[in-house]
Structures are given as C-alpha cells and as structure tokens.
Amino acid sequence: MTTTNSWPLGVSGLAYGCDYNPEQWPVATRVQDVELMVRAGVNLVSVGIFSWAMLEPREGDYDWGWLDAVMDRLLEARIRVSLATATASPPPWLTRKHPHILPELADGTVLYPGSRQAYSVSSPVFRDYALRMTRAMAQRYGNHPALAVWHVDNELGCHVPHDFSEDAARAFRAWLSQRYGTVEALNAAWGTAFWSQRYDSFEEILPPRVAPHDPNPTQQLDFARYSSDELLRHYRALREVLRGITPNVPITTNMMLTSRTKWMDYFGWAPDMDVIATDHYTIAADPERHIEAAFSADLSRGVSGGEPWMLMEHSTSAVNWQERNRPKDPQEMVRDSLCHVARGADAVMFFQWRQSKAGAERYHSAMVPHAGTDSDVWRTTVRLGRALAALAPVRGSRVRSQVALVFDYQAWWGSELDSHPTQHLGYMAELLRYYRRLWLEGVSVDIVSPGADLGEYRAVLVPTLYLLDDDAADTIADAARSGASVLVTFFSGIADQHDHVRLGGYPGAFRELLGVRTEEFWPLQADEVLRLDDGTGADLWSENTHLAGAQAVRTWAQGPLAGKPAITRNQVGAGAAWYVGTRPDADGVRRLVRDVLAEARVTPVVDGLPEGVEAQRRHGADGARYLFVLNHTGEDVQVSVTGTELLTGTRAEGTYALPAGDVAVVREA
C-alpha cells in the first residue's frame, strides 16, 4: 500500500454502487439516474472507464463539459466517484494514426479495433498516450470533492493477457536481461542445451510464438511472468502520474480474482494497490456457483492480506457472454452480494447502473434494467441498498480462519504446460475439489500464497503446487513441524522456479516432509477408475510410491499398483504431513478432509448446519461478532445463534429461523 488513505474518500458505511456510463444517455436520463441512485442507496459509482473517445474525440481536443456536469450532479447527491483514467479502450483516431500499437496473438494475428482493449500494453507509443490521458484526467478532476478513488484502466489483461507483437518482443528481452543479467544465466535457467536452443545474445530471443512443436517450457513460463509484470508496469506508470498530482487519493484497478482468471499474478500485484478491488461473475450453468463465488471472495481476501476489499463489479442478473445467459432470481442476487460481504468485502458494486440499449453488452443486466423500475431487478436493487445500509457496523471487521489453502498463479501456469505426464490435469479443478469439501464442511478458509505465514493455522492444504522455491517449501514444512496437519496432493513440489525437475524421486521439494518417494508417475487413462482399499475410487493419476517414514492410509486395491500406497501420513514434529498420490472421488475427498480436520481440531463456523447452508463470521476490533448465514437450499433451516439480526432487527434467542433462499446477519451476543 502506497498512501495513508486506503479506502474511497468520503464513503461511510459499506460502499454500494456500480459502473456508471452516463455518456450513453441523454441529459434528461442522467438527471433521473441520480434521483434513482439516491432511492437505491447508492453512494459510490465508477465513471469514465470507456470514455476516452468521448472525452478526447480528436487528438488534443478535449470535451470535458458533460463529465463536469456528471461529477457535479453526483456530488450534489452525496454520491462519491471512483474515477477511471479512461484508458481502457483507445479511440479510433489513435489506432488509425498508430496501427502498430495493436496487440498480436502467438500466430501473428493482429487484434483490431472494434471491441475494447485493442492495445499492446508494451507499446511505448500507447503508453505515452495513456499517460497523457491519465494526466489530463488528474489535472481536471484531482481537486473535485466527489473524487473518492482512482480506477486505473479496467480489468487489465482480461482480453489480451499475452501480446506477441514486436513491441512485446523487445520488452520481453529487456525483462529477461534484468531477470538473468547474462545470457549464460538464461541458457542455464532455460535448459537450452536441449534441442539446440542455446542463445548467444538476448537479441536472438523471441516470445513463444507458434512453433513446429512444443516450445521451451521455461521460456513459456517466463513469458507468462513477463506478461503479468508488464501489465503491472503499465498500472504503475499510470499510478505514478496520479500520485504526483493527487498524493492523498487512493488508487486501485479492478482485478479479476476468480477461478477463471489465470494469467495475472495478483499476489504479486497486491502491494501496489491502495485497496484491493475485484470483479466477479457467476456461471449460470454451474449448479454450485455459490461455492465458486465463496472461493473467489476468499481469494480476494487472501490477496488483500485480510484487509477489507471492494467487489467492484458483479451482475444483478444475467450476463451477455455465456452460452445461455440465465438470470438470477431476486434471492440469489442478494445472496451473491452478501456472500462477498460475509467474506471480507466492504463494497458491493455492479456492472452497471442502467442497462445499455446499444453495444455489445446491451443484454447484460444492470441495476436499472430495460424493464425500468417496475421490475424484480430494480426492487431487489433497492432492497439490497437497504440491507447494506443496515450492515454499516460490519465495515472494517475481519474474517478469521483455522484452515489455509495454498494457491499460486505460477504453479497454475507451470502445472498446465504441455509435455507433462497427462494433459488432462487442471490446476484450478484440483484446488476447487478441496475447497468445495471445506465449504461443505462449513469451515472458514484463508487462501494464501506460498511462503505466507502459516503459524496461525491448524490445517494447511496444498493442492498440486507443481513448482515452488525452497523457502516456500520450508515454510510449509515448518507449519507441520509446529503442529499443523498439512495435506499435499499429487504433482506438487516437482519443479523449481525454472521448471527444472527436482531429482532423486518425487514429490521433490516435499519428499522429506511427506516421508515418501515416488519413482514413477502412473497416469490413468480416460474413464479409468481404480478402487482403493477403503472402497472409494480414484481416477486421472496414480504413482509408484514407496514409504520412507510415512504410513499408508489408503492403498490401491486393484490395478498394476495394487497393494502400494495411494494416500499416506507422516508424523512430523508436533504435526503431520499427508500425501494424496491420486485424485480421489467425491466420497474419498470427503473422508480424507474430515480425517484431516478432525486431527487438526478444526471446527465449523456454526455447528449443525445442513449442506448448502453457508456460514461465515466477521470479527470487529471492538469485539463484535457478525455471523452471516446464507441459505442456498430450498428448505427452511434453524440456526443456533443468539443476538440481533441486523437486516430485520429481530432478536434471536438460541435459534434463528432462516427461510429457504434467504440471508441472515446476526450481531452475536
């Protein structure tokens, strides 16, 4: 964090609002917008995200009048502004004058204007224009009293996480030179003795463009690292302009902390943000989308280091970019929003205020839908505003967890490269397999990066942490030695940070901790399911594993490895280290996670809740405790709790009756 102010200025209680795009509407509608925002309880809106072509219709010719009026109108209504740099989509005059700023795919395909993010983030020309626009915005509105927070660009890397243009090639070479210092060090890190890939100078190096066969794996991994760093470098450049003009205004950008956003290393970005902001959208076809939403909210809190964070975008109802864009019912809209608040968000914002009548996102829902104010969506928008106002005391409180789930973007990138024992391993699927079980068990989970302090956790789960450095491996081992139950799953600890295999037997960096040695991976074929000795099944993966101090907890009951260990446990200091050398079925994961939680003495947030009822607790600095309970089932439930339910003002004496699909937030006695 880089300023003493880390929360939107002038926003009291929980923030509630949306992206606001007044440039799409006539003045009369803009006036009505503000009146409706007041009715809904809106207190923060993001403005100017895609306004570059409207603000600078011709190079150097600015039209500020309409935005001046919008800012003044919002201020008069006591609505604060998250003001964008307006750089998220370059205007047509810019790409026409400088077509070389357009990004390219690995096969050389140019991504042309007509959508958004049609720029190469490494283009010096584009960077110069973006800096000019950012400076113009800061100089114009830096002292405007409605300004609460700066919103840099928008969803950086969303559509173009990797650019393979000539500008990108030059920037990649500079990044490599800074990382390695000498080409000899790069050759050693990339293993270029293989396939005659040795380089004599950095100038010979290209991005991993389309090649006759699999590209160098470390080259691919480094290009992913460079691409994430280059996006962050762009953010930093724009941020420094803002900081120079408005040193006391917090600055952020909206990340996409979800299970579907792979290519930005957000743990590495976090120190450059004054407040963490994220966008999240559920997938209508996923019957357990509420579990993925909880995961994404926990990930947001993890990237924020436990500090309150902003849900900068989500949807009131249907989106426009899935194959079948099913709407949310009103109860789901409220549950979706309050799930994020339960897990640490102090801001709830939507895309967008008023549903567009034209453009690519015209069928994306909004707070004011096409149907207008006589609609379920609008009525739920007002209801949610009232709920968030009632939850003002929650602001600033924290979530506490007994369980840590270790997650790493670079392990995600590395584990899914080509030329691996199986091409059907999905890193995020393995992570969610264990997160889902923890959610169903009702325990609170912190999602942390490798190397994070694990001293406060009773259980630590480490799914498919394919690559990591020695320090991170030692930190995980120290957690077990200090008393935690650590569970590590297959294809973890295999490679170092250069994607070089750790020799001497798998699982490499965790071999000593786990007390096992695998001599060979034994991937299973499609639809091949083998039985373990406890009657559960496993698929995708098996290993020829030998015990080296550990005890077998589950063994293979059939197949070529029958009788050999499949799941093991090793006593380590005051704790234990479990190894899962396969992919258990759902019942196997259930039994395993319950065994680990019981050993670690991990307790659920609330005892006795049925599966499908979500509970989370936030703790205030004053000792107050706020219990959130979200009923995702079709049945009424009884919750064991005593206190005051904040949304209704009713008193709970020992139990609280929560209707099907509803939410309760109890300030506990």
Query: What share of the chain in percent tops pLDDT 70?
Result: 99
What is the tens place of the pLDDT at every residue in 466-509? 999 999 999 999 999 999 999 999 999 999 999 999 999 999 99
Q: Are 318 and 466 in contact (CB under 8 A)?
A: no
How far, in Å, CA of 505 to CA of 519, rounded? Answer: 5
Is residue 430 part of the annotated active site? The answer reads no
Q: Is the pLDDT score of 76 beyond 50?
A: yes
Question: Mean pLDDT, to the nearest integer, of 371-393?
Answer: 98
Q: Are 203 and 169 in contact (CB under 8 A)?
A: no
Q: What is the dihedral of CA 239, 240, 245, 249, to 10 degrees?
A: 40
Q: Is the pLDDT score of 2 beyond 70?
A: no
What is the tens place of the pLDDT at every residue in 183-204? 999 999 999 999 999 999 999 9
Q: Are 336 and 314 in contact (CB under 8 A)?
A: yes
Give the pLDDT of residue 476.
Answer: 98
What is the tens place of the pLDDT at every residue in 391-405? 999 999 999 999 999
For helices 27-40 and 65-76, give the axis angle rounded to 10 degrees: 30
Largest CA distance in the chain: 77
How far, in Å, CA of 273 to CA of 256, rounded? Answer: 14
Q: Is the pLDDT score of 590 beyond 90?
A: yes
Choosing from 155, 430, 441, 543, which is the catalytic residue?
A: 155
438 Cβ contact list (under 8 Å, min separation 6): 403, 405, 445, 461, 593
How far, in Å, CA of 425 to CA of 557, rounded? Answer: 23
How far, in Å, CA of 132 to CA of 144, rounded? Answer: 19
CB atoms within 10 A of CB 406: 28
SS3 43: coil
Choosing from 56, 230, 292, 313, which is the catalytic residue?
A: 313
Q: Is the pLDDT score of 3 beyond 60?
A: no
Pairing type for strands 613-619 and 398-399 reads antiparallel
Question: Which runs of E-coded beta strand occur in 363-491?
Answer: 398-399, 403-406, 445-448, 459-462, 485-489
What is the tens place of the pLDDT at every residue in 84-102? 999 999 999 999 999 999 9
Give the pLDDT of residue 7.
Answer: 86
- 174 burial type by CB count under 10 A (0-12 exposed, 13-18 middle, 19+ buried): middle
- What's the pLDDT band for 1 if we cut at 50, 70, 90? very low
How far, in Å, CA of 10 to CA of 277, rounded? Answer: 17
Q: Tell me the average pLDDT of the chain.
A: 97
DSSP β-bridge partners for residue 349: 17
Q: Are 277 and 309 in contact (CB under 8 A)?
A: yes
Q: Are 600 and 484 in contact (CB under 8 A)?
A: yes
SS3 522: coil
Give the pLDDT of residue 4.
Answer: 54
- What's the pLDDT band for 206 if we cut at 50, 70, 90? very high
What is the tens place of the pLDDT at every residue in 216-258? 999 999 999 999 999 999 999 999 999 999 999 999 999 999 9
Among candidate residues 499, 453, 501, 492, the one with its CA nearest the CA of residue 577: 492
CA 137, 142, 144, 150 dihedral sign is positive
Give the pLDDT of residue 8.
Answer: 85
SS3 514: helix
Is residue 230 part of the annotated active site? The answer reads no
Among candidate residues 10, 42, 651, the one with its CA nearest the CA of residue 389: 42
Question: Which runs of E-coded beta strand occur in 319-423?
Answer: 345-350, 398-399, 403-406
Q: What would the two tokens of residue 381 be?
A: 């928008």
Residue with tokens 């995600």, as numbered in its chain: 412
Give the pLDDT of residue 6.
Answer: 78
What is the tens place of the pLDDT at every residue in 31-72? 999 999 999 999 999 999 999 999 999 999 999 999 999 999
Question: Mean pLDDT, to the nearest integer, of 513-524?
Answer: 98
* Exposure letters 32-51 (e unless 16+ CB within 10 A, then b): ebbebbeebbbbbbbbbbbb
Among candidate residues 623, 659, 614, 661, the one with its CA nearest the CA of residue 643: 623
Question: Mean pLDDT, to the nearest integer, of 533-553?
Answer: 98
SS3 519: strand
Q: Is the pLDDT score of 358 beyond 90?
A: yes
Q: Are 609 and 442 in contact (CB under 8 A)?
A: yes
Type of residue numbered 413 = W
Type of residue numbered 487 = L
How far, in Å, CA of 293 to CA of 343, rounded? Answer: 10
In the chain, the N- to C-terminal Cα span, in Å, equals 35
